[in-house]
Structure 1
Amino acid sequence: MNGNRAVSDVIGFVIVFSLVAATVGIVSVTGIGILQDARDAEQVNNAERAFDVLADNMADIHQEGAPSRSTEIKLDSARLEVRAPVEINVTGVDPSGTNPNVSYSAVPIVYEGRGDTAIVYEAGAVFRDSPQGGIVSEKPPFRFADGEVIIPIIQTQQMGNATSVSGGTIRVRAEQAVREPLAEFVQREAAYDALIVNVTSPRYRLWKRYLEEDADATCTVTRPETVQCRIDDPKRLAVTRTLINFEFEI
């Protein structure tokens, strides 16, 4: 009898120990995954806040005329890099049929961490971009109100040789190179029937959403990664461009 009880105690102990070990193992595996996801999400949120500061510093240059600004971005295991330039084209629909246009490129600054979400500074805007979609975290410095159309084109251009950096804290140093109004698009009383804005960018869907909502523009996708938006009957018009050179300082 005592032998049966001893065997039962041993079996019970083994079963309880196995359950405890399995529970600890499951919690450890899933818990580590959850903690990793939370850490990655917080890093992206911190990067987004840093890019908002970057956009503010860039605005000091193109709006206030500051000669230069520097922005520190903590990377840890993430990386900061430049990508292929995006293109912004503005065309005036002139009743005479001349239809003047200007076209400028801008080099995006992209933050990428462990996940699939990227933070992008592009032509004055900040985007939080992912394969599942994205949002406009910081709107471009355009203005559409009461018939007034103001479009500052922020033409970022990279200096130096570092196109991709990672680890530690990186400084993005930017300086003004050119700041000018575009004469054919500065009109106290607009002479154009409409203004057409073309944006060629991997984030064309976010540009489309922004221009439809803020400019009440009619937008169509005309070719891969290009959105064309028509803004009808502008009353006052100002299109400027600012060339900003930037580099990564390690």
Structure 2
Amino acid sequence: MSRDRAVSDVLGFVIVFSLVAATVGIVSVSGIGILQDARNAEQLNNAERAFDVLADNMADIHQEGAPSRSTEIKLDNARLEVRDPIEINVTGVNPTGTNPSVSYSSTPIMYEGRSDTAIVYEGGAVFRDAPQGGVVSEQPPFRFSDGEVIIPIIQTQQMGNTTSISGGTVRVRAERAVREPLPEFVQREADYDALIVNITSPRYRLWRRYLEDDADATCKITRPETVQCRIDDPKRLAVTRTLINFEFET
């Protein structure tokens, strides 16, 4: 009788120990995954806040006339990259048939971490970009109000040879090269029937969403990664260009 009880105690201990070990293993594996996801999400949020500061510093240059600004971005296991330039084109639709047009390229700055979501600064805006969609984290410095159309074209351009950098803390140093109004698009009483804005960018869908919502523009996709938006009957108009050179410093 006592032998049977001893065997039962041993079996009970083995079963309980196995359950505890299995539970600890499952919790450890899933818990590490949850912690990693939380860490990645926090790093991405921190990067987004740093890019908001970057956008503010760039605004000091193209809006306030500051000669230069520097922004520190902590990378840890992420990297900062220079991406292929986007294209911004503005065309005036004139009743006389002469339609002046200007085009400028702008080099995006992208943060990429462990997740499939990236933070991108381009054309004065900050985007949180992901394969399943994205959001405009910081709107471009355009203004549309009561018939007034103000479009500052922010033309960022890389100087130096470093196009990708990872780990540690990186400083993005930016300095103003050119700041000028575009005479054909600076009018107190606009004589254009409409303004056509074409943006070629991998984030064209986010540009489209912004322009449709903020400018009440009529937009369509004209070719791969290009959105064309028409802003009808502008009353007052100001389109400017600011060329900002930037580089990565460690």
TM exceeding 0.5: yes
Structure 2 partner of 1:224: 224
CA drift of 1:234 comes to: 0.1
Question: What is the identity percentage for the equivalent residue pairs of Structure 1 and Structure 2?
Answer: 86
CA drift of 1:25 comes to: 0.1
Q: Counterpart of 1:77 in 2: which secondary structure?
A: coil
User: Is 1:90 the equivalent of 2:105?
Assistant: no
CA drift of 1:105 comes to: 0.3
Structure 1 partner of 2:239: 239
Structure 2 partner of 1:56: 56
Structure 1 partner of 2:210: 210
The CA RMSD over aligned residues, in Å, is: 0.3
Q: Distance in 1 between matches of 2:191 and 2:156?
A: 29
CA drift of 1:173 comes to: 0.0
Q: Counterpart of 2:220 in 1: which secondary structure?
A: strand
Q: Distance in 1 between matches of 2:139 and 2:179?
A: 20
Q: Distance in 2 between matches of 1:58 and 1:114?
A: 27
Q: Counterpart of 1:186 in 2: which secondary structure?
A: strand
Q: Distance in 2 between matches of 1:159 and 1:76?
A: 24
CA drift of 1:72 comes to: 0.1
Gaps of 5+ in 1: none
Structure 2 partner of 1:21: 21
Q: Distance in 2 between matches of 1:38 and 1:208?
A: 31
Q: Which amino acid aligns with 1:33?
A: G
Q: Counterpart of 2:32 in 1: which secondary structure?
A: helix
Q: Which amino acid aligns with 1:89?
A: N
Deviations 1:93-112 (A, max 9, x none): 01111100000000000000
Structure 1 partner of 2:167: 167
Paired residues for 1:55-134 under 5 Å: 55-134=55-134
Paired residues for 1:149-160 under 5 Å: 149-160=149-160
Q: Distance in 2 between matches of 1:245 and 1:81?
A: 15
Q: Counterpart of 1:57 in 2: which secondary structure?
A: helix
Aligned residues: 250
TM-score (norm 2): 1.00
TM-score (norm 1): 1.00
Structure 2 partner of 1:31: 31
Q: Distance in 1 between matches of 2:38 and 2:117?
A: 13
CA drift of 1:14 comes to: 0.2
Q: Distance in 1 between matches of 2:97 and 2:89?
A: 18
CA drift of 1:10 comes to: 0.4
Structure 2 partner of 1:179: 179
CA drift of 1:37 comes to: 0.1
Q: Which amino acid aligns with 1:51?
A: F
Structure 2 partner of 1:4: 4
CA drift of 1:157 comes to: 0.0
Q: Distance in 2 between matches of 1:188 and 1:76?
A: 49
Q: Which amino acid aligns with 2:160?
A: G
Q: Distance in 2 between matches of 1:76 and 1:186?
A: 45
CA drift of 1:27 comes to: 0.2
Q: Distance in 2 between matches of 1:7 and 1:159?
A: 77
Q: Distance in 1 between matches of 2:49 and 2:132?
A: 21
Deviations 1:3-48 (A, max 9, x none): 1111100000000000000000000000000000000000000000
Gaps of 5+ in 2: none
Q: Distance in 1 between matches of 2:197 and 2:186?
A: 15
Q: Counterpart of 1:228 in 2: which secondary structure?
A: strand
CA drift of 1:64 comes to: 0.4
